Every structure is written in structure tokens, then in C-alpha cells.
Chains A and B, each alone.
Chain A
Amino acid sequence: MLKVENLHVSVGDKEILKGVDLEVKPGEFHVIMGPNGSGKSTLSLTIAGHPKYRVTGGRILFGGEEIHELGPDERARKGILLAFQVPPEVEGVKIIEFLQQVLVELKGIDPAKAYDVIVEKAKELWFKEEDLHRYVNVGFSGGERKRLELLQALLIEPKLLILDEPDSGVDVDSLSIISRKIEELHKNGTAILLITHYGRILEHLDRDVLTVHVMKDGRIVKTGSGELVDRIDREGFAKIFEEVGA
């Protein structure tokens, strides 16, 4: 479904991704780990189509089609959703109105029906109806922001959900509900690409289904199964880098 081939990406004059290869098939669950600055977030933002990230080489294919020329909205319409590491505040835009518009646009649901669906789903992520009349992310805690990202994923039901550090800046309770909802989406057929620095969230997930990649300096240097998480936990990244000569 998602195929990244020898992807090179620059921001300004600086090359950040130096040839990334990655394939995510429908319904799979991939995890990308790696130290700060290894290019994890760049990869996720590039797949989602952030204009600042310039593809200088290689290809991104989604459903067999090259997408790196498409705008972020067109990629979203094809079924890609990025849950942001730090979702921005959008002053004056009420969550409910925003989500209604998204559902109307993406799924053709009528606004009144969308309203009910949103309120219902929001409860599962601990948002009360009145919370939905707050402005998008304005004054939200880390946990609230991440839960709102997950709410959007549950409503949109993307083919591919990219989660950029869903475990950073999140309280323990939020982390547990977020993990459950990620698993729920995965069970319902959404492919997951999860980026994590510390792997905190992996303690809450079933490791048997995971494919784990380790990134360093803009490349994926090792790929393995869920057990790789434990090794990184025990031995740290350095040992693995040493082993693969990276």
C-alpha cells in the first residue's frame, strides 16, 4: 500500500533523509524507532505532504500511485492520516465545526449526522460534548491534544495512520486509552506507522504484530520483529548501530 523507495528529503539546503526504503502493506503495524535527529518525524511529515520537506530523490507510492507531487489534502483523501507530534492551536475554530466539515468533505456525511457521530466517538476518548465547543488544541494539555488526534483517526478511519510520537508529553492514563484506540483501529483494518523515540507506548501494545525499524542519520539501518524493542530497551541504540556498522 505504502511504498517508499530510496527517498531523499531536504529542508532548505540540508539533506535529512538519505535514501529510505520502507513498505507497509494493508493492515500491517510498523514501528520506527531511533534517536533524536535520525529523521523519523521528517519521514512522517514528508509522507503526509508538508510543503517544507522537499523530495530530492526516490519515490513515495501509495496504492501504486506516486504521491509526492500531491498536496496534503489530496493525500488525506487517498487515505493517509498523520497524527501530529505537536498539533498546532487553531484559534477561533471550534473542534465540532472543524470535524463536521472534515466528515462532510471526506466522507460525504451530512452535518447533522456528523455532529452525532462526533459526539458519540468523542466520549470514547473522554471528550464531553461541551469540550467539542473549544477551539482546536487551544490551551490543550499534551494528553488532550493526542486524544484529539486519535479522535480524528477514529472518525476518518484512514487506510494508513501515521502516528508521530503519540507517547510524548502524555500522562499515563491518556497513553493507555490512546494505545487501546490504536489497537482498535489496527484491528479494524487500518495500517499503522508509529514513530516513537522512547518506545513507551510499546509497553501497551501487542508486540507480536509489530514490524520494527530503527533509523539513524536519515536511513533505516535495521528491521526486525517486536523482539527488537526489548533489545533496544536492554542494550540501547548504540549496540545495534555497532552491530550493523552504522
Chain B
Amino acid sequence: MTETITMSDAKAIIENQIEELAKRNREPEWMTRIRYKALEAFEKAPHNDPVISEEQLLHFIAKPEVEGIPEKIESLDDLPPEMKALLDRLGISEVEQKYIAGLAVQTDTGVVYNQFLQEWSKKGLTVLPTEEAVRKYPEVVKQHFLRLFRVDESKLAAYHTAVWNGGIFVHIKEGLKVPFPLHLFFLIQESALAQAPHIIIIAEPNSEFHLIEGCTSPVLLRHSLHLDMTEAYFGEGSQGQLTVLQNWPEYVHTRPMTRAKIGKNARFINTTVTLGAGKSNIGDPHYWVDENGYVELNGILLGQKDYYIDLGGQMFLQGRGASGINASKSVIMDESKVITRGIITAEAPKTKGHISCDALLMSDKAVMETYPGLVSKVDDAELSHEAAIGKIREEELFYLMSRGLDEEKATQLIVKGFLEPMLKDIPMEFLVEIRRIIELAVSGGM
């Protein structure tokens, strides 16, 4: 960093971006007002990121360090070959042929590939770029935009809100059960803007869905900081799964911000598979759970190189009989560091919470820390936690090797096996890719 960016420099840059976004998105005034409100809050909002200092943040705002691709993407054929290859490896075209999945590849200009979604929109499934939803369904968006966050709670929340762009709006009508997973890929090509997609999920009562987000944008763009925000609302009796596959390159810092309100008898399974964590990956999702509601946060974390991964997770069990599980499995290699710090707060009778943290340390310099938090405000809550941090057991490795597998293959098998129980809800075509990435990481790290 050679030049110093002052707070007023950063604010001026943010203001420019707001103006640009407002114009580009033909944004209604109420949304632009929210952006300005966030800009106002930015300066005074607290900043306590353990990796990115305030000075660095200002620098990121001024210099997004981008390398974009120039072409407009209107169909899959316009994608760069490496991106197409990735989608092919993920079995996307195959999936499409088999009629089992809905797929939207999103760029900042719109959802470009959405054959199945059109069909399903008639039944009550809306999937739109968030910008378009703001124009098309202003009343619905207003009721759900930034209702689970406050702009002044942190500089990152304020910055995201001021310059958010991209992201997806998913709305599932009452009783609609979407039988296939929705695969969403973010390909953000506008280069001058920060990567700050805003995702809104509204599951009406008794609806069901599974949304899979694959974060592949870094293949197209070099950004130093990625700030996505997800707000999810689960109506009574609804059931949803959100699976996030993160595979960031090493120069990016990511700060996923996810929050969800889980209604009576609703169920939310939130799985985050962090294979490429990027330079640092810090998230602290919040969940508010109503009567007999259920939330599960599954973290699959692969620490490599000198990456820093910090996964929190706060569950507020607010209704009688609500329950939550925060479970993570980490494979930590090289000199990386993984911290898990889930907190479950029991605020109502008969609530149950469990935190578990398993970690496999693959090198002497790898570091794992876990800080489970259990808070009970009632006298009949059942809260528990367990943690197991260790290395690969010599007996297991010897057993597999004594069957003719070399050390690398035996280690890969043990690592995949360690993560396997947590990958149970992930569709096969992704599993194949995930396992391959793990194999590569393990053999590279040996």
C-alpha cells in the first residue's frame, strides 16, 4: 500500500458507486435512500475484523483490483472456456438433460440461463436477480430487504448495503414444493464495483426448496474483498436447504453474512462447503428460531496454505421446542488456521441445542481453535457440545496401507471419509467435484 486512503476518499468513492448503481439499475428512490443511509452509517459503524484493518478496508474500497472479462455473457456459449469447463465438470448440461434441476447462471446483467425456471414460475417459484426484483416486486422486497441486519452494526454491513449489486431473489409460494435443487452460479462481470451480492430467500408456509449456490466468480474477476449478504425467511412449516459451495482463489477475502428467520415448525438446513477459503473467510450467520422450528448449520471447512477461516453461527431459540445444531468438520493443512465459535442461546422452554466440532490436523503448523457457546435463559433447555481435534490415527493409515494403498491415497480416503457424513445432502454431481478438490488439496499438501 503506497498511498493512504482517507475516510472521506472512501466515502466519495462509495457515493459515486451508489449513483452509478442507481442509474444502471433504474432503481426506485427508496432503494437508493437505503444505500445513502448505509453510507451515512459507514463512518461511525464499528469495525472489528481480525484480518482486515480499517485502513485496508478503505484501500479495498478505493482499489477493487479487478481483472474482468470484457465480453457480454448472454448464453452459456459466451462463457470463457475455463468457466464452461467448470460447469461441464459439475455436470450441468447433464443435469439439464435429465430434467432434475433448475439452473440459473447469473451475471450482473441478469439470469441468462433459466429454461426450467420459466416453467416453474407459473407454479409460484420466482427466481430473479435482486435488482430486477426491486423493480418488479418493490413491496415484497421492501418487507424483506435489510430486515435482519442493521446498517450501522458494522462497517462491512454498511459498505455492503451501500454498494450491493447482483445477487438473487428467490420466492417460493405457499405450499409449493420444488422437487429439484436450484443451482445458482454467480458470475459477476461488472468490474468497477465491489462484489457485494444480496440474496433474499422467502419460503412461504409449507413450501420446500433446496438452493445451491456455487461461488465461481473469482475465475472471472480479481477482487480483494467479497461481501455477500443473505436474508432468508421461512414461513410456518416450510422446509429449506441452502448449500453454499465456496471455492475462492487465494487472493480474496470473503465475508459471507447470512441471517435467517425460521418460523413455527419450519426447518432450515444451511450447509457451507468451504474448499477454497480464500485468504480469509469469516462468517457469523444468525438464526432466529420460532416454536418447534429447527435449524442446522453444517460447516465443511478445508484450510490450506496460510488461509484463515472463522465460522461462527448464532442460534436464538426463541419459541418453545425450537432446536438447533451447529456442526463443523474441518480439515486443516499447511499453516492454515480454523476457528469455530458457534453460540446457541435458549430463550424458550423445551429448546434443544448442540454444537459439535471435529477437526483433522494435517500438519504440525495447522491450527484449530473452537469456542462453543451455550447460553440458557430457561431452566429446561437441553444444550450440549462436543469437540474432537486430532491427527489421522496411525492405526487407520497403517490398515489402509497394508491393503496396498500408498500413503497419499490412504490419506485421501481417510480425509474424504472424515467429511463424508456431512456431505449427505449434496447432490451427486457436486459431490464428485467436491471429492476431487479434496483429493487434490490433500495430495498437494503432502
Residues of A within 8 A of B (CB): 48-52, 71-73, 75-77, 81-82, 84, 87-93, 98, 101-102, 105-106, 135, 152, 156
Write 18 A-B pairs (CB below 8 A) sorted by A numbering.
A71-B401, A71-B407, A72-B402, A73-B401, A73-B402, A76-B403, A77-B404, A82-B402, A88-B393, A90-B417, A91-B421, A92-B416, A92-B420, A92-B421, A93-B413, A102-B404, A135-B417, A152-B403
Cβ–Cβ contact B416 & A90, under 8 A: no
Cβ–Cβ contact A90 & B414, under 8 A: yes
Q: Mark B403-430, 1 if CB is under 8 A from A, else 0.
A: 1111101100110111111000000000
CB contact under 8 A between A90 and B399, given known A51-B394, A101-B413: yes
Whole-angstrom CA separation of A71 from B409 in the bound complex: 14
Pick the contact of A51 from B396, B398, B404, B409 — CB < 8 Å?
Answer: B398
> A49 — which chain B residues lie within 8 A by C-beta?
398, 401-402
Cβ–Cβ contact B404 & A105, under 8 A: yes
Report if B112 contacts A (CB, 8 A). Answer: no
CB contact under 8 A between A87 and B413, given known A92-B421, A102-B404: no
Whole-angstrom CA separation of A84 from B394 in the bound complex: 14
Nearest opposing residue in chain A for B402, CB measure: A72
Q: How far is the CB of B302 from chain A (nearest CB, A)?
A: 15
> A93 — which chain B residues lie within 8 A by C-beta?
413-414, 416-417, 420
Whole-angstrom CA separation of A88 from B421 in the bound complex: 18
Q: How far is the CB of A156 from chain B (nearest CB, A)?
A: 7
Report if B395 contacts A (CB, 8 A). Answer: yes
Cβ–Cβ contact A91 & B417, under 8 A: yes
Whole-angstrom CA separation of A177 from B395 in the bound complex: 27
Whole-angstrom CA separation of A77 from B404 in the bound complex: 6
> B396 — which chain A residues lie within 8 A by C-beta?
88-90
Cβ–Cβ contact A88 & B417, under 8 A: no
Contacts A73-B410, A76-B402, A90-B400 known; 18 new A-B pairs at CB < 8 A: A48-B402, A71-B401, A71-B407, A72-B401, A73-B403, A73-B404, A73-B407, A76-B401, A81-B402, A84-B399, A88-B396, A90-B414, A92-B416, A92-B419, A101-B409, A102-B403, A105-B404, A105-B405
Pick the contact of B417 from A92, A106, A156 — CB < 8 Å?
Answer: A92
> A76 — which chain B residues lie within 8 A by C-beta?
401-404
Would you list the 8 A-B pairs with minimal beta carbon distance, nearest first? Answer: A92-B417, A92-B420, A93-B417, A76-B404, A72-B401, A106-B404, A73-B401, A72-B402
Residues of B within 8 A of A (CB): 393-396, 398-407, 409-410, 413-414, 416-421
Cβ–Cβ contact B406 & A73, under 8 A: yes
Nearest opposing residue in chain A for B419, CB measure: A92
Whole-angstrom CA separation of A76 from B401 in the bound complex: 8
Cβ–Cβ contact A156 & B403, under 8 A: yes
Pick the contact of B409 from A50, A92, A105, A135 — CB < 8 Å?
Answer: A105
Query: Which among B403, B409, B417 has the greatest number of chain A C-beta atoms within 10 A?
Result: B403
Q: How far is the CB of B305 from chain A (nearest CB, A)?
A: 25
> A73 — which chain B residues lie within 8 A by C-beta?
401-407, 410
Pick the contact of B405 from A48, A50, A89, A101 — CB < 8 Å?
Answer: A101
> A71 — which chain B residues lie within 8 A by C-beta?
401, 406-407
> B404 — which chain A residues lie within 8 A by C-beta?
73, 76-77, 102, 105-106, 156
Q: How far is the CB of B330 from chain A (nearest CB, A)?
A: 14
Nearest opposing residue in chain B for A88, CB measure: B395
Whole-angstrom CA separation of A233 from B304 in the bound complex: 58
> B419 — which chain A residues lie within 8 A by C-beta?
92
Cβ–Cβ contact A102 & B405, under 8 A: yes
Cβ–Cβ contact B414 & A72, under 8 A: no
Q: How far is the CB of B84 from chain A (nearest CB, A)?
A: 28
Nearest opposing residue in chain B for A137, CB measure: B399
Whole-angstrom CA separation of A82 from B421 in the bound complex: 29
Whole-angstrom CA separation of A77 from B401 in the bound complex: 10
Q: How far is the CB of B220 from chain A (nearest CB, A)?
A: 34
> B410 — which chain A residues lie within 8 A by C-beta?
73
Whole-angstrom CA separation of A49 from B410 in the bound complex: 15
Query: Which among A72, A77, A89 has the greatest number of chain B C-beta atoms within 10 A?
Result: A72
Whole-angstrom CA separation of A210 from B414 in the bound complex: 38
Q: How far is the CB of A95 from chain B (nearest CB, A)?
A: 11
